[in-house]
Amino acid sequence: MSFEAVLQSIVDHCGGGRSAALMGLDGIAIAEARATTGVDADDPLEGDVTSAGIEFGRILGEMRKASDALGAGQVRESVLSLDRATVIFHTVDEELVLVVALRPDGNLGKARYLIRRGLVDIRAEL
């Protein structure tokens, strides 16, 4: 299964999905998917989840440093619950992160489940 197909499946089936991207820690997207249900006028990212990855990338880097300093291991997942969006960052490997944006009322639990399930296919393609 291609990266795009995995991402599209997550966005389409999680309930409230807006967009998803597989991207490097440098902010460069490898693959992207957007909701096929039309334009969401209240989407602060305007369907471009990579902008969130870039903007929050420094924070993720600092979280990794803090985790290393504590000896807590690798940061696996971070969830930002914002007024107009929920953004999930899930580590794929040392250099890749999967970013998924949901509506604030989206199904976070199902999105997290689909991300974990999709990681199997993503890692198989690497």
Split into its structural domains, the chain has a count of 1
Q: What is the pTM of this model?
A: 0.88
Cα–Cα distance, 6 to 114 (Å, whole number): 9
From residue 61, how far is each of 6, 35, 106, 116 by CA, in Å?
25, 28, 26, 21
What's 29's domain CATH number? 3.30.450.30
* Model confidence band, residue 121 (pLDDT cutoffs 50, 70, 90): very high
Q: pLDDT tens for residues 8-52?
A: 999 999 999 999 999 988 888 899 999 887 666 677 666 667 777
**DSSP strand E in the chain: where?**
17-24, 29-34, 77-81, 86-91, 96-102
Whole domain around residue 59: which residue ranges? 3-125
